[in-house]
């Protein structure tokens, strides 16, 4: 069961094509609004810019391993003075693709969705089992400075 405050603050998520649909299903079972590109034939194979625009149209943060392309889109939006609904960048060392890391990834995304967006147009690197407190703190500061 999801706490009432979590529903108000929640982050809607769109999982990029390389992420398992089971992750979206598990997040939905926890009360979150999560969709996966792999679940929608019209979204599969879209260029990153089009997929990001689609996510914005649905007020969703994109969850992806594709750091460079989505950080470029973030810079482009900011350069044009446009906000967005967030980017969650997954580190493949912390969250390897495939079933073995699925539980940790779901837990991490569940925590983000429960707390809501950390700041407008956020870029977030979820901590994993391998991260340290100082690394997480550094990444948060880097993300916040990028939003300025």
What is the pTM (predicted TM-score) of this model? Answer: 0.81
Report residue 60 as tokens: 């969703």
CA 54 to centroid of chain Cα atoms: 14
State how far the Cα of 106 lies from the Cα of 49, in Å rounded to an integer.
25
More reliable by pLDDT, 6 or 76:
76
Mind listing the pLDDT tens digit for each residue in 43-84?
Answer: 999 999 999 999 999 999 999 999 999 999 999 999 999 999
Q: State yes or no: pLDDT of 118 exceeds 80.
A: yes
**Domain boundaries in the chain?**
4-146
Mind listing the pLDDT tens digit for each residue in 80-98?
Answer: 999 999 999 999 999 998 8
Rounded alpha-carbon distances, angstroms, from residue 8 to 1, 11, 29, 31, 40: 14, 9, 17, 12, 26
For residues 120 and 82, the answer to whether their CB atoms sit within 8 Å is: no
Q: State yes or no: pLDDT of 15 exceeds 60.
A: yes
State how far the Cα of 36 lies from the Cα of 72, in Å rounded to an integer.
22
The CATH code belonging to domain 4-146 is 3.40.50
Over pLDDT 90: what percentage of the chain? 71
């Amino acid at each position: 069961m999801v706490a009432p405050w979590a529903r108000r603050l929640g982050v809607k998520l769109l999982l990029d094509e390389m992420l398992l649909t089971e992750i979206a299903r598990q997040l939905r079972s926890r009360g979150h609004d999560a969709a996966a590109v792999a679940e929608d034939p019209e979204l599969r194979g879209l260029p990153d810019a089009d997929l990001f625009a689609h996510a914005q149209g649905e007020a969703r943060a994109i969850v992806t391993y594709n750091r460079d392309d989505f950080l470029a889109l973030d810079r482009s939006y900011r350069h044009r003075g446009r906000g967005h609904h967030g980017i969650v960048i997954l580190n493949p060392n912390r969250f390897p693709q495939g079933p073995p890391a699925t539980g940790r990834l779901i837990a991490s995304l569940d925590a983000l969705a429960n707390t809501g967006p950390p700041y407008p147009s956020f870029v977030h690197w979820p901590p994993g089992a391998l991260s340290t407190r100082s690394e997480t703190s550094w990444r948060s500061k880097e993300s916040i400075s990028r939003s300025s």
